[in-house]
Amino acid sequence: MYGAYSSMNTSTEPLCSKTNNKLLVYVHGQASSAPLTPAMFIFGDSLIDSVNNNYIPTIAKADYFPYGVDFGLPTGRFCNGLTAADYAALFLGLPLIPPYLSPLSKGRNILNGLNYASAAAGILTKQGSILEQGYQ
């Protein structure tokens, strides 16, 4: 599923969205000789959605052109390529964090964390009115 990302030059690609993005990332660290940041658990909206909306019935999808143009195919991300959360993971030495709704997100695939972000999600009722409460 993440094979398309390996062909991208992540050091030169632009960030996915506006400069005033807010990124909410929960970083879980361990003491001793383990890496300082072994996992990321990401919460947010379309700015950092990593394909979760492809797995739910919603009109808020990005699985068509021009989304994903830097990957060469639509990825379900609401941007050309990597999101700010993807860049944070790469900066911390982690692989790209998988979407929690993916059928592949279980077992060893989630040891580095999960991305819970979903486009059209919101904290306030008015913000999240595109998705029913049960999907957020």
65 touches 52 (CB < 8 A):
no
Average pLDDT for residues 97-123, to the nearest whole number? Answer: 92
**How many whole angstroms separate alpha carbon 97 and alpha carbon 23?**
14
- Write out pLDDT tens, residues 114-136: 999 999 887 776 655 555 555 55
38 touches 30 (CB < 8 A):
yes
| DSSP structure class, residue 102 | S
pLDDT classification of 48: cutoffs 50, 70, 90: very high
**How many whole angstroms separate alpha carbon 22 and alpha carbon 19?**
9
